[in-house]
């Protein structure tokens, strides 16, 4: 295992968002992809950041490969699945001005990203930090979920720091029981959980950030961050629970990447040697910069170690 190497495992989709004149602008989206992008922004260029996913042999998949390469995100573990394509996400605005997301994933190659245990194992062996999400788990078959979890447990036992964001999207799961069971097993395989309080309250019956932390602590998670939006976050680290205030944002333009940018910054700062507390405080600063700009992928002024 090489030190200072981040591997993010999950889906990347083509995203169409509305612009003036009834037209749509293409971009790329996906929670672990966005986390990788912000980690890449904030880590030294010599620190590898890699995305493990599966793409098709369509032109949009080829465009994404080029985008990842230009962004400095490693593509060595991207698998091309013939006959499949990249997933599609479309954003529309409803009558109340709210964003509505529609997804087309049935033929997405990303559903096959965990089909090869040997490939998973060899790829994870290169990394000392591994990040995945509840969406990663939701799009896989039951068999491939077990394969991925087994390899994550193996990687953690070998010394890797495994980071997990439950990112709860009930519409992706075949049942509520599957959602609860798989997310619990994914957390159990992880050393760091980065979760959102509003999602846990809505879908897991969690009452408070302290309640969420207690649940994860009971199954052996060492570090837990419960993201609470404008109220900041609650952190468990080293057996101590503390509140981390949100950094003030000059204004709020787009919250699209708030959680994923926090994840990327938090993991980047851990990799650079910060304590979990300092990592959470710096991640809050990054998130404040991100939500003050439009779009999921924006430049941030803070480089790793600047504050």
Nearest CA to 184 out of 134, 121, 231 is that of 134
DSSP for 61-115 reads: HHHHHHHHHHHT-B-TTPEE-TT-B-EEEEEEE-TTS-EEEEEE-TTBGGGGTTS
pLDDT at 268 over 90: yes
Q: Which of 198, 260, 274, 306 is catalytic?
A: 260
SS3 of residue 174 by DSSP: coil
- Does the active-site annotation cover 165? no
Q: Determine the topology of domain 30-53+66-80+110-291 in CATH.
A: 3.40.1190
Question: What mean pLDDT value characterizes the chain?
Answer: 92
Average pLDDT rounded to a whole number, residues 70-98: 85
**115-149: pLDDT as tens digits:** 999 999 999 999 999 999 999 999 999 999 999 99
Residue 10 structure tokens: 């999950």
pLDDT at 271 over 90: yes
At CB < 8 A and 24+ separation, what contacts does 274-279 make? 275/237, 276/223, 276/225, 276/235, 276/237, 276/238, 277/235, 277/237, 277/242, 277/244
User: Is 100 exposed, middle or buried, given 0-12, 13-18 or 19+ CB atoms closer than 10 A?
Assistant: exposed
Query: Has this prediction a pTM greater than 0.85?
Result: yes
Q: What is the pLDDT of residue 163?
A: 98
CA distances from 28 to 5, 91, 198, 251 (A): 23, 12, 25, 25
pLDDT at 302 over 70: no
The domain limits of the chain are: 30-53+66-80+110-291
Q: What is the pLDDT of residue 26?
A: 86
pLDDT at 195 over 50: yes
């Amino acid at each position: 295992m090489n030190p200072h190497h981040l591997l993010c495992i999950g889906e990347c989709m083509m995203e169409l968002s509305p612009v003036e004149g009834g037209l749509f602008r293409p971009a790329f989206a996906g929670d672990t992809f966005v986390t990788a992008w912000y980690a890449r922004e904030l880590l030294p260029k010599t620190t590898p950041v890699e995305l493990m996913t599966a793409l098709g042999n369509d032109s949009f998949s080829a465009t994404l490969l080029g985008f990842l390469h230009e962004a400095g995100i490693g593509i060595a573990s991207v698998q091309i699945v013939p006959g499949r394509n990249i997933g599609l996400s479309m954003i529309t605005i409803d009558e109340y001005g709210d964003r509505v997301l529609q997804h087309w994933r049935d033929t997405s190659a990303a559903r096959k990203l965990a089909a090869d245990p040997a490939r998973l194992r060899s790829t994870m062996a290169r990394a000392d930090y591994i990040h995945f999400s509840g969406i990663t788990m939701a799009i896989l078959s039951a068999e491939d979920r077990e394969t991925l979890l087994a390899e994550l447990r193996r990687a953690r036992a070998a010394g890797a720091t495994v980071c997990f964001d439950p990112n709860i999207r009930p519409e992706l799961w075949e049942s509520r029981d599957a959602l609860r069971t798989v997310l619990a097993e994914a957390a159990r395989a992880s050393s760091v959980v980065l979760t959102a309080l509003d999602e846990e309250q809505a879908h897991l019956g969690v009452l408070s950030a302290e309640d969420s932390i207690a649940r994860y602590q009971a199954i052996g998670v060492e570090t837990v961050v419960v993201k609470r939006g404008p109220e900041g976050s609650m952190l468990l680290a080293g057996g101590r629970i503390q509140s981390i205030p949100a950094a003030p944002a000059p204004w709020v333009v787009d919250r699209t990447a708030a959680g994923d940018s926090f994840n990327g910054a938090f993991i980047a700062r851990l990799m650079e040697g910060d304590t979990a507390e300092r990592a959470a405080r710096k991640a809050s600063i990054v998130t404040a910069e991100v939500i003050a700009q439009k779009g999921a992928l924006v430049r941030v002024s803070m480089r790793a170690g600047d504050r």
